[in-house]
Amino acid sequence: MRFLRRGFSEDRYGVTNVVSLVLITGIVISLIGLVFTSYLPAWGKDVEAQTLNSVMDSFMDLKGSMDTLSVNGDEGVSLTTSIKLGSTGGPVFGFGRMTGSLEVNADWGRMVISDTGVPPKNYGISRGSIEYKSSNNYVDEQNIHLEGGAIVREQLGSSVIKGPPNIIISEDAGGELILYVLSTSIEGEMNSYSGTGTNMITMTLISHTDTSYDIPPGSGISITIRTMFGLTWEGHMDGYLQSHGLVRDTDYSISLGSDPEGFDTFGITFLTLDRMDLRTTFFSVYIT
Give the model's pLDDT for residue 108.
Answer: 80
Instruction: For residue range 6-53, list pLDDT tens digits in order.
Output: 544 555 555 566 656 656 665 656 555 545 555 456 666 778 888 899
What sign has the CA pseudo-torsion 266, 267, 273, 275? positive
Instruction: Look at the chain and report how many structural domains it folds into.
Output: 1
- For the beta sheet containing 111-115, the strands, ordered from the edge strand earlier in sequence to the opposite edge, are 122-126, 111-115, 221-227, 264-270, 252-258
Say if pTM beats, i.e. exceeds, 0.85: no
Q: ∠ CA(43), CA(45), CA(47), 5° rounding?
A: 70
Tell me the pLDDT tens digit for each residue of 190-216. 677 888 889 999 999 999 999 999 999
Domain range for 214: 2-287
Q: Are 185 and 206 in contact (CB under 8 A)?
A: no
Q: What is the pLDDT of residues 89-130, one digit of tens each?
A: 666 555 667 889 998 887 788 999 999 988 999 999 999 999
Residue among 213, 214, 217, 221 nearest 253 (CA): 221
- Reported as a single tens digit per residue, the pLDDT across 127-153 is 999 999 998 888 888 999 999 999 999
Q: Are 104 and 287 in contact (CB under 8 A)?
A: yes
Q: How many angstroms separate the Cα of 262 from the Cα of each of 190, 227, 265, 268?
A: 20, 9, 9, 19
Q: What is the pLDDT of residue 3?
A: 47
